[in-house]
Amino acid sequence: MSRLRVGLLSNPSAAQGAAHRVGRQVAHLLRLAGISVVDLSGPSAHVARARAEEVRDSLTALVVVGGDGTVSLGAEIVADSPVRLGIVPAGSGNDFARALGLPINDPEESTRALLHALSRPVVTIDAIEIIATGEHALPHRSLALGNVNLGFDALVNARANSSRAGTTLRYPRAVMRELRSFSPLPFWLEIDGGERIEMDATVLTLCSSGIYGGGMQMVPGARIDDGMLELLSVTGVGRTELLRFFPRVFKGTHTDLDAVDIRPVRELTLGLRDGRALRAYADGEARSLLPITARVRPGAVRLLADVAALRAERAVDGGAQ
């Protein structure tokens, strides 16, 4: 038996229950490969987190089985520790896994990739720290690995998460419902500690991976390991233009439109000028109400994935298409 000890946290609610079965399969395969596996899954995210935090320092890696929400839960548990974060995509959207180029819907291939990465050099990636800064806000801090949604797509995310529609229809339906009543949001922003500026934006997203919403390539050039974030804003567009804009984001061809601006950012503080209650969403999960500060935490998470090999594979696949 190897001395490697892996904690496995599968989210029984991800992808409407499918992740639990995948978690059991991955645990079995890891054990067959001689890895000591401790199951940290729990009936709630809160219980699973407590179990994982209790044993964290005895682990080589924490493997999370679920979607983007479970990945960010895992990132919060291992951030700033030597424990590596392994990801088995088993959620509905799996956008962060897509950004990494991980195998999707293939537990055996996922396990092979984890075992391979255990013998490869450690790769670190950036995290995004989100802090509530409102005068009356309860102290709240969370981490995300993918993106923080602050505009139209935060409203869409809120609606999609509360929808009973099936996974494929949930997001497009929420887009259509939100579009009916949407008008640009009156933000104030302070970028990298600079002066306060005003911006009426439709879409406003702080990106590390740049991919969300089930494969939307919002910022195609974003990198998860460059110590920077990208602030994407879409301004000056009405509902009809926004409707035309959305299909383009799946190919990432929207970035040359005049309405779209992408700028590198390390830290962003923002709120709404009209004092409306708007909640930020990150990696598909509800976070703090605005105002918030969100900042990059360079190299905060050590990944259990051979990112270089995954990138090379993607380049070959891309070239072959």
In degrees, rounded to 5, the angle at the alpha carbon of residue 305 between the alpha carbons of residues 142 and 89 is 65
3-state secondary structure of 59: coil
* 43 touches ligand ATP (CB under 6 A): yes
Give me the least distance between CB of 156 and ligand ATP, in Å please.
Answer: 13
| Beta-carbon contacts of residue 204 (< 8 Å; ≥ 6 apart) | 150, 151, 185, 187, 231, 232, 233, 234, 270
Q: Is 7 in the site for ligand ATP (CB under 6 A)?
A: no
- Indicate the residue among 48 and 85 with the shorter CB distance to ligand ATP: 48
Q: Which residue has the tokens 């000056």?
A: 236
| Residue from 22, 27, 48, 294 in contact with ligand ATP (CB under 6 A) | 48
Report CA torsion sign: 235, 238, 244, 246. positive
Which token pair is 201? 């934006």
Count residues contacting ligand ATP (CB under 6 A)?
A: 22
Peptide bond into 186 cis (omega under 30): no
Q: Does 172 bind ligand ATP (CB under 6 A)?
A: no
Q: Is 284 in the site for ligand ATP (CB under 6 A)?
A: yes
Q: Does 42 bind ligand ATP (CB under 6 A)?
A: yes
Residues making up the chain, counted from first to last:
321
Least distance (Å) between residue 263 CB and ligand ATP:
27
70 binding ligand ATP? (CB under 6 A): yes
Q: In 3-state terms, what secondary structure has residue 138? A: coil
Helices (H), the chain: 18-32, 45-55, 68-78, 95-100, 107-118, 152-161, 167-181, 239-249, 307-320
Q: Which tokens in the block code for residue 313?
A: 């594979």
The reply to whether 45 sits near ligand ATP by the rule CB under 6 A is yes
Rule CB under 6 A: is residue 230 a binding residue for ligand ATP? Answer: no
Of residues 161 and 255, the one with the C-beta less far from ligand ATP: 161
Question: Least distance in Å: CB of 69 to ligand ATP?
Answer: 3
Q: CA–CA distance from 17 to each of 10, 21, 25, 119, 161 (Å)? A: 10, 8, 14, 31, 15
Contact between 74 and ligand ATP by CB under 6 A: the answer reads no
Residues 303, 311: Cα–Cα separation, whole Å: 14
CB of 75 to ligand ATP, least distance (A): 12
Q: Does 298 bind ligand ATP (CB under 6 A)?
A: no
Q: Which is nearer to ligand ATP, 168 or 253 (CB)?
A: 168
CB nearer ligand ATP, residue 9 or residue 219: 9
3-state SS class at 119: coil
The residue among 4 and 45 lying less far from ligand ATP, judged by its C-beta, is 45
CB 211, min distance to ligand ATP, A: 11
- Name the residue nearer to ligand ATP (CB basis): 12 or 172: 12
- Window 83-112: residues binding ligand ATP (CB under 6 A): 91-94
Residues 258-277 that bind ligand ATP (CB under 6 A): none
| Smallest separation (angstroms) from ligand ATP to the CB of 170 | 9
Q: How far is the CB of 285 from ligand ATP (least distance, A)?
A: 5
Task: Using CB atoms within 10 Å of the CB of residue 172, give its burial: 0 to 12 exposed, 13 to 18 middle, 19+ buried.
Answer: middle
67 binds ligand ATP (CB under 6 A): yes
Which residue, chain included where needed, has tokens 């989210």? 11
Q: Residue 247 in 3-state DSSP?
A: helix
Closest by alpha carbon to 201, among 155, 144, 140?
155
Tell me which residues touch ligand ATP (CB under 6 A). 11-15, 42-45, 48, 66-70, 73, 91-94, 284-285
